[in-house]
Amino acid sequence: MVRHFLDLADAGGDAMAAMLNDALDRKAARKDWPKGRADADAPLAGRTLAMIFEKNSTRTRVSFDMAMRQLGGTTIVMDAGSMQLGRGETVADTARVLSRFVDAIMIRTDDHAKIIEMARHATVPVINGLTDRSHPCQIMADLLTVIERGKALPGSRWAWLGDGNNVLHSIIEAGSLLGFEVAIGCPAGYDPSMEVMEAALKRGASVTIVRDAAHAAADADVVVTDTWISMGQEHAEEKLAAMMPYQVTPEIMAAAAPDATFLHCLPAHRGEEVVEAVIDGPQSAIWDEAENRLHAQKSVLLWCFGLIG
Ligand code: CP
Ligand code: NVA
């Protein structure tokens, strides 16, 4: 069976733990090495990853490219608009054709249904590089960052502040699989998907929606936020106004645990979802978090190829 990485819930907690352990080991083994040098075992030598972008990207594009280089493989990077996909070739036919050329496909798309369709017709692994519904690779990096800071994930408390979006959906899934609490501070009208919430609750998740921002952040080990306006959304004044009470400020961080870590997937909008004093302050782990996209995704790739777990 082909191993796709579409959502954390499909992979499951055991596979996630195996990937995170592998990422820690691989990262430690190449400490201080030149970034372009391959890992000693070059486990993906001879393999090629095709990447399709329907939306902008800096971190996902570069981290997957460097991940494949460090694993000994190569990449082909395509913007959907310059592919036949951009002028009407179906997702299914694109999946069938790419499966004849490359060993895995990563896609960033505006519609989660497209990645499901891609996986249905591909005979090689398909990896979710962000959809409107989820961003599982980002959360693998976030988990790695929290573990590196010496925090046990089970029983920890995460506070999400702001928009109930794709990144939050993957955090909710991760919490339900790895046993950490998620308190969501978001304004009415911008809640996460009830489908994602209900599926997590069925798995025994501790996930709550709290309208008061400081209450959501209370005693949190991790405080996390994201842009209020995701790619493809309108930059609406009324949304910004509704979000403002959920801005991550020093007061919010003071409500969290004293050693709380601040995370943000980036790109950030200083003065909107978070103020400079927090994102550029001592509790912020954003640069390690960004770097960890590389390390986490190497393990995601190895898992997809059946080389982990
Ligand atoms: N966090 C993240 O996915 O960044 P990019 O949009 O730059 O890939
Ligand atoms: N929620 C954001 C994440 C960007 C990495 C978006 O979808 O635009």
108 is catalytic: yes
Query: Residue 38's pLDDT is what?
Result: 98
Question: Which bound ligand lies closest to the C-alpha atom of 141?
Answer: 1
Return the structure tokens found at 269: 């909008």
| CATH, domain 8-135+293-305, list 3.40.50.970, 3.40.50.300, 3.40.50.1370, 1.10.150.530 | 3.40.50.1370
Question: Which bound ligand lies closest to the C-alpha atom of 56?
Answer: 1
Index of the ligand 2 atom closest to the CA of residue 166: 1
Q: Per-residue pLDDT averaged across 286-303, rounded?
A: 98
- Mutate-to-test residue for ligand 2 from 138, 226, 235, 293, highest number of ligand atoms within 8 A of CB: 226
DSSP the chain: ----BS-HHHH-HHHHHHHHHHHHHHHHHTTTS-TTSPPTT-TTTT-EEEEEESS--SHHHHHHHHHHHHTT-EEEEEEGGGSGGGGT--HHHHHHHHHHH-SEEEEE-S-HHHHHHHHHH-SS-EEES--SS--HHHHHHHHHHHHHTT--STT-EEEEES---HHHHHHHHHHHHHT-EEEEE--TT-PPPHHHHHHHHHTT--EEEESSHHHHHTT-SEEEE--SS-TTS---HHHHHHHGGG-B-HHHHHHS-TTPEEEE-S---BTTTB-HHHHTSTTB-HHHHHHHHHHHHHHHHHHHTTS--
CB-count exposure of residue 276 (10 Å: 0-12, 13-18, 19+): exposed
Binding-site entries for carbamoyl phosphate: 57-60, 84, 108, 135-138, 265-266, 293
What is the C-alpha to C-alpha distance for residues 68 and 48, in angstroms, rounded to an integer?
A: 8
Give me the chain's average pLDDT, please.
98
Please say if the pLDDT value at position 235 is more than 90.
Answer: no
Query: Residue 99's pLDDT is what?
Result: 98
Index of the ligand 2 atom closest to the CA of residue 226: 1
Index of the ligand 2 atom closest to the CA of residue 230: 8
Look at ligand 2, atom 1, and give the residue with the nearest C-alpha: 230
Tell me: the pLDDT tens digits for 92-106? 999 999 999 999 999
304 is catalytic: no
Active-site entry in 7, 22, 221, 226: 226
CB-count exposure of residue 77 (10 Å: 0-12, 13-18, 19+): middle
Domains 8-135+293-305 and 136-289 share a fold: yes
Query: Residue 139's pLDDT is what?
Result: 99
Contact 144, 150 (CB under 8 A): no
Q: Per-residue pLDDT averaged across 44-53, rounded?
A: 98
Could you tell me the CATH superfamily of domain 136-289? Aspartate/ornithine carbamoyltransferase (3.40.50.1370)
Query: Residue 238's pLDDT is what?
Result: 96
Query: Residue 119's pLDDT is what?
Result: 98
Query: Residue 68's pLDDT is what?
Result: 98
Spatial CA neighbour of 50 closest among 10, 85, 26: 85
The residues pairing with 263 across neighbouring beta strands, listed in sequence order, are 224
Q: Per-residue pLDDT averaged across 25-43, rounded?
A: 98
Query: Residue 219's pLDDT is what?
Result: 98
Please say if the pLDDT value at position 159 is more than 90.
Answer: yes
Tell me: the pLDDT tens digits for 240-256? 999 999 999 999 999 99
Q: Per-residue pLDDT averaged across 269-295, rounded?
A: 98
Instruction: Give the distance from CA 204 to its chain's centroid.
Output: 22
Work out whether strand 222-225 and strand 207-210 pair parallel, antiparallel, or are unpaired: unpaired
What residues flank ligand 1, with Cβ below 6 Å? 57-60, 130, 138, 265-266
Does ligand 2 come within 6 angstroms of the Cβ of 163? no
Interface pTM, i.e. ipTM: 0.99
What is the C-alpha to C-alpha distance for residues 243 and 42, in angstroms, rounded to an integer?
A: 46
What is the C-alpha to C-alpha distance for residues 48 and 266, in angstroms, rounded to an integer?
A: 27
Sequence letter at residue 18:
A
Q: Per-residue pLDDT averaged across 127-141, rounded?
A: 99
Active-site entry in 70, 169, 264, 265: 265
**With bands split at pLDDT 50, 70 and 90, how would you rate the model's confidence at 26?**
very high
- Mutate-to-test residue for ligand 1 from 53, 59, 227, 230, highest number of ligand atoms within 8 A of CB: 59
- What are the boundaries of each domain within the chain? 8-135+293-305, 136-289
Tell me: the pLDDT tens digits for 169-223? 999 999 999 999 999 999 999 999 999 999 999 999 999 999 999 999 999 999 9
Query: Residue 305's pLDDT is what?
Result: 98
Query: Residue 234's pLDDT is what?
Result: 87
